[in-house]
Amino acid sequence: MEAPPYAVFLFPSVSHALKAEKILKARGIAHKVIPVPRHISSDCGVCLRVAAEQKELAAEALQGLATWEKMVLL
């Protein structure tokens, strides 16, 4: 089975997601803010999408600075 190309980080609120975005930007980790995919959560907010192979790098960058609720492979 082919590895999923993207992972998304879900946050409690848009404020958290945008704080995380700022951290990833500063660390030079490619990412995109996207609306939360409906099949993952019914929340109306946004989440951070990164390449699946960068999920550990992103998680390490965010650890302790921006709390995420879950990380899901798309």
Partner 1 sequence: MQPDPGKGQLIYFDNAATSWPKPAGMVEAMGYYNEMVGGSPGRSGHRRSIDAGRIILETREALAELFGIDDSLRIIFTKNATEALNIALLGLLQSGDHVIATCMEHNSVMRPLRFLETQGVQISVVSCSGDGRLNREDVQTAIRPQTRLLVVTHASNVTGTIQPIAELGQLARDHGVLFCVDAAQTAGALPIHVDEMAIDLLAFSGHKSLFGPQGTGGFYIRRGLEQRLRPLMMGGTGSRSEFEAQPDFMPDKYESGTPNAIGLAGLGAGVRFVLAEGVEAIRSKEEELTKRFLKGLASLKGITVYGPADAADRAAVVSFNIDGVSPSEGSLELDERFGILCRPGLHCAPAAHRTIGTFPRGTIRFGFGYFNTEEEISLALEAIRSLALRE
Contact residues toward partner 1 (CB under 8 A) are 12-16, 18-19, 21-22, 33-36, 42-46
Q: What are phi and psi of 7, to 5 degrees?
A: -125, 145
In the complex, what is the shortest distance from the CB of residue 10 to partner 1, in angstroms, rounded to a whole number? 11
Residue number with CB closer to partner 1 (7 or 36): 36
Residue number with CB closer to partner 1 (3 or 12): 12
Backbone region of residue 48 per phi and psi (left: phi > 0; alpha: psi in -120 to 50; beta: other values): beta
Residue number with CB closer to partner 1 (56 or 67): 67
Determine contact, residues 68/29, Cβ cutoff 8 Å: no
